[in-house]
Chains A and B, each alone.
Chain A
Amino acid sequence: MNAEQVIQVLQAMNQVIDREAQYLTDLDAAIGDGDHGINMKRGFAAVSLKLEAESTEDCGAVLKTVAMTLISTVGGASGPLYGTAFLKAAQAANGKTELTKEDALALLTAAIEGVQFRGKAERGEKTMLDLLIPVKEAYADALAQGLTLEETKQTILTVMDESIAFTKTIRATKGRASYLGDRSIGHQDPGATSSYFLIKTVMDSVG
């Protein structure tokens, strides 16, 4: 995947977030402050505009533009978290004009480390990490086992569906939903859901 294709994926992410904004906001209204979709939509719309003018061949530079734009437009907790995720991915992609499937794993790993550092969170706290970490593990396994692209996609989709469902069963201990205690159980995590859409968009764009 070259820089132009990375930009196409990000433009597709904007369309998906735009389409799902109300759904994300409704999920957030149930256990947070009801602005996740609004904020993500604002951020990715700004990313889309910025990338229309982007002409670099460096995949890292593209991702850095995304990071800085998200940091300066999203706000809330998701701005610094997604911003840091893309910034760490940008560092991992720095200087690369072509991203391989192994690079994709390195980027995802770096992004997750960024989210963990910024949010001081672990898996199992009802956050986007409960989607991202299982996806990363499934993807690493798929690469190690030499699965085909189709098999890899199917495996990850299954893991994502299970992970999203899992966020409904656990209690939030990070973020605003943590104030609800046990009342957060039964609700799907909005951050994990937006991560679901972003990863799904990447998968739909390859192959």
Chain B
Amino acid sequence: MKKIINQPENIVNEMLDGIVKAHPKAVKRVEGFEVLVRANAPVSGKVALVSGGGSGHEPSHGGFVGTGMLDGAVAGAVFTSPTPDQVYEAVKAVDGGKGVLLVIKNYTGDVLNFEMAAEMAGMDNITVKHVVVDDDVAVENSLYTTGRRGIAGTIFVHKIAGALAEQGADLDQVQAVAKKVIANVRSMGVALTACTVPAAGKPGFELAETEIEMGLGIHGEPGTHRAEIKPADELVDDLLAKILEDIDYSDSEVAVLVNGLGGTPLMELYLMNRRVHEALEAKGIKVYKTMVGSYMTSIEMAGASISLLKLDDELKALLDAPAETPAFTQL
């Protein structure tokens, strides 16, 4: 393992300090906890949004704390859900009196820990609701699984629900629009290499030199199948095919997120984006907005995911609303 670290157990703490020093006007830490909140938290009279999960997905989620998106982000150990006491501190730190919405990615650990935190906050008379993001079409959603995983589509939830909260909506409305985003966003990724959790010291799995895994999860969970590496356009077509067969996008307008997993350069993401636009145009699907970059990463994994959000007028307006956070700013 070759990484720029000090002690593996200090990575999250030291990273959060580094984020605050880079963006002191946007975020601050909750003393003694691995929690980032807006520098001006709590914002009185506004519904607050808290997300989080294991670390290793930067800029998710701390990078999206700021005006128009999240109020707080909880950072667990690398690839490990944060504990309930940490989430509870985040909720207390951001509650501005109108309640708190937890944005949870669908992993058993995240759901359990955030639910326990919500129960703890409930005892303090803080109203807490939650949504669970499950945008990954690579895994089957059936009675026989925990349901689909939450991946890069979560960024759209932060952006859109965050914008509505900023406009003064109440907790039920913010939760409802978050659910609407979740119902209309689908994602799928491909991995070219594995990644190494620092505390483990070695990659969680192996991919051969020319091998890729379709649908691999952002913690290295197995995907749908392994294949030989192929040209960018064919990779995009394969990913899009799975996404497009899942919900009916015909004649709709969409937002596109081409997301890097940490080890794939922008150069390659732009190649993918070019093909995404070509392919959608050929199908009569209009791209309203495009985001290309590394938003939801998997440490140093090479690979990318594509997310498509089907839009209506409400979602378009909220997507266009201003936001100012360390990792996403739009005026």
A33 touches B83 (CB 8 A): no
- Contact between chains at A33 and B221 (CB < 8 Å): yes
**CB–CB B222/A180 < 8 A:** yes
Say whether B109 faces chain A, with CB atoms less than 8 Å apart. Answer: yes
Q: Contact check, A75 vs B82: say whether CB atoms are below 8 A apart.
A: yes
Q: How many positions in chain B have a CB within 8 Å of any CB in the partner chain?
A: 35
**B16 nearest CB across to chain A (Å):** 16
A76 and B109 form a contact (CB under 8 A): yes
- Please name all residues of chain A whose beta carbon is closer than 8 Å to the beta carbon of B113 when the two chains form the complex: 75, 79-80
Cα–Cα, bound, A35→B76 (Å)? 12
Contact A34–B82 (Cβ < 8 Å): no
Chain B window 227-250, contacts with chain A (Cβ cutoff 8 Å), 1 for yes, 0 for no? 000000000000000000000000
| Interface segment out of the listed A1-9, A50-58, A93-101, A171-179 | A171-179
Asked if A200 is an interface residue, CB under 8 A from chain B, the answer is no
Known: A176-B108, A179-B222. A35 touches B197 (CB 8 A): yes
Nearest CB in chain B to that of A79: its residue = B83
Listed residue (B79, B108, B200, B221) with the most chain A CB atoms within 10 angstroms of its CB: B108
What are the residues of chain A within 8 A of B210 when measuring CB–CB?
none
Partner of B197, one of A34, A79, A174: A34
**Known contacts A72-B85, A173-B143, then 16 further A-B pairs from the complex at CB < 8 Å, ordered by chain A residue:** A33-B220, A34-B79, A35-B79, A35-B200, A38-B200, A72-B83, A72-B84, A77-B109, A78-B109, A79-B109, A81-B112, A176-B108, A178-B144, A179-B145, A179-B221, A180-B222
Question: Which positions in A face B, CB cutoff 8 Å?
Answer: 25, 29, 32-35, 38-39, 42, 71-81, 118-119, 171, 173-176, 178-181, 183
Closest 10 CB pairs of A and B: A77-B109, A80-B112, A178-B145, A76-B109, A75-B80, A77-B108, A33-B219, A34-B204, A179-B139, A72-B85
